[in-house]
Amino acid sequence: MNLFEISLSSLGLTWTLSKLLPYILFLIIGISFSVIFYKKFKLLKPLKIIVSLAILVLPFLLYFVFSPIYQGDFSNVGYTVSSENRFPEKKQFTVYVLPNCKYCVSSTAVLTSMVRKNKRINLVIRVMGHTVKDSLKYVKLMDNLVPVTMNSSHNSLERVQIKEVISITKGEFPTFVLSKNGKAIKAWHNDRFGVRAMDEVDHYFN
């Protein structure tokens, strides 16, 4: 999501509406200017229709070029996590990331916006890293808003935990997990965590 869409969400709109509204607004602007042009200018009718149609779609296309819609933007396709994996008893939103994963890094902008919008979201970032530097990177990316924990493979206990993480994430990062009463409720991979999934998380903590 871009800054304009994020600013709309800060006004109290859902994430889905914040994503849709700009496209609707620019389409309305295009329709308005198209009608004005059609009524005010005297041209050959075929030419007038062609120009009016071009004016109609131009604002929408310009915004689409600035902020294209990707396949996963409106996705909310989650999966069930094995009940063998334990989570805290209270509601929690856990995001598993890798230190140098560009998709993990880019997801922090949206996660930060989600936490700023709904302070009830109990978000925890879990970094699959080896050094303190790996976790500090995400502390900075998240503006120090949420806890950041780290898993490494330096000892046998951590290796067991990493095996559990792999069973949760299925080897894809970032992975987003909602949990309650010690069990995961739903998990998403990055390309399936769109604005409708964000709305589900937001509603979960309301």
- pTM more than 0.75: yes
Q: What is the pLDDT of residue 39?
A: 84
Order of all β-strands in the sheet with 123-128: 148-151, 123-128, 92-97, 175-180, 183-189
pLDDT at 165: 85
Q: Which amino acid is at 197?
A: A
Number of domains in the chain: 2
Cα–Cα distance, 75 to 205 (Å, whole number): 20
Question: Is 192 found in the same domain as 113?
Answer: yes
Within-domain flag for 108: yes
Residues 42, 104, single domain; the answer is no
Residue 115 CA to residue 93 CA, distance in Å, equals 11
**83 is a domain residue:** no
Please tell me the predicted confidence (pLDDT) of residue 157.
42
Answer yes or no: is 131 within a domain.
Answer: yes
Instruction: Mark whether 172 and 100 lie in a shared domain.
Output: yes
Position 152 scores a pLDDT of: 62
Which residues form the domain of 108? 92-204
What is the tens place of the pLDDT at every residue in 148-190?
998 765 544 445 467 788 889 998 999 999 999 999 999 999 9
pLDDT for the residue 156: 44
Query: Does residue 78 lie in a domain region?
Result: no
175: how many CB neighbours lie within 10 A of its CB?
24
Q: Where residue 98 sits, what CATH number does that domain have?
A: 3.40.30.10
CB 193 within 8 A of CB 175: no
In the predicted model, residues of the chain with pLDDT beneath 70 are 83, 152-161
* Distance separating alpha carbons of residues 64 and 30, to the nearest angstrom: 13
